[in-house]
Amino acid sequence: MDKRTQRLLHLIKEAQQQYGTENIILPLPGYAAKKFIAYCSIKEDLELLLEYTALLKTKPSKVFSSALVNALIALYGKCFTDASKNSYPKLEPNDLFKDDEIKETHDYLMGLRHQFVAHRGETEGEIGISFLLIPKNKALTEKTELRFSQLKMVNFAEAEIKKIERLLQFLLNEMPTKIDKAGQKLHDHLLTEFTPEQLNLMRMDNMK
């Protein structure tokens, strides 16, 4: 049994333990539930990102702070990108952002995602220089040395954190509508495409 199957069975078992005593539980087909699952997952990611910003405001150690910054940028970017082969649902900036300041913060984080975290590129988050050392009063042909120096972002400025929190809260306020719409569509699909007899066969307590 592969790890994915093991984890799915773990989730099913948890659902049975939490809800099975008082409810009949029907696991929903993945093809139909994809958008509902994606939006619920994005909502949890956004909530986790707010926890990251709260921790960053405590000014933790350099290593911890750097890990939080990289995780924040990567996880935020994940909400707006997908593996193209799966066409997995994601948030669409053009459908969301009307406020220029919020859109600017979004663009800033996505720029860091593309040029700082996911790929190495030119960005304010990571700036390096190289230079040649030539001993004074020595001929250029004598011993020289190459050196490298770098500044890498390990935290956001307080003003930036406030902007990021405003952006995250804005997105969280948008998620209930998206989740409800996807959930209603999923609910209607099940009742339209499956007979009561078929739905009964899908019950978790009928699964072997």
The predicted-structure confidence for 84-122, as pLDDT tens digits, reads as follows 666 778 999 999 998 899 999 999 999 989 888 766 766
Report yes or no on 202 lying in a domain: no
pLDDT score of 79:
94
Report yes or no on 190 lying in a domain: no
pTM score of the predicted model: 0.81
Q: Which of 3, 115, 84 is nearest to 107 (CA)?
A: 115
Residue 142 pLDDT greater than 60, yes or no: yes
Residue 139 pLDDT greater than 90, yes or no: no
pLDDT score of 205:
66
**Structural domains in the chain (count):** 1
Report yes or no on 134 lying in a domain: no
Grade residue 141 by pLDDT with cuts at 50, 70 and 90: low
Domain that holds residue 56: 33-121+158-172
- Stretch 49-70: mean pLDDT: 95
Report yes or no on 95 lying in a domain: yes
Report yes or no on 1 lying in a domain: no
Q: What percent of the chain has pLDDT over 70?
A: 91
DSSP E strand boundaries for 7-112: none
In a 3-state reduction of DSSP, which class is residue 161?
A: helix
pLDDT score of 106:
96
Q: What is the mean pLDDT of the chain?
A: 85
The predicted-structure confidence for 143-187, as pLDDT tens digits, reads as follows 788 888 777 777 899 999 999 999 999 999 999 999 999 999 988
Rounded to the nearest 10 degrees, what angle do helices 62-78 and 100-112 cross at? 110
Range name among 47-51, 75-79, 129-133 with the lowest pLDDT average: 129-133
Report yes or no on 49 lying in a domain: yes
Q: What percent of the chain has pLDDT over 90?
A: 42
Question: Could you give the CA distance from residue 75 to residue 171 in angstroms, rounded to a whole number?
Answer: 14
pLDDT score of 197:
79
pLDDT score of 135:
81
Grade residue 137 by pLDDT with cuts at 50, 70 and 90: confident
Report yes or no on 2 lying in a domain: no
Report yes or no on 48 lying in a domain: yes
DSSP E strand boundaries for 83-142: 126-133
Residue in this structure with the two tokens 């150690």, named with its chain if needed: 61
Residue 13 pLDDT greater than 70, yes or no: yes
pLDDT score of 194:
81
pLDDT score of 147:
84
pLDDT score of 167:
97
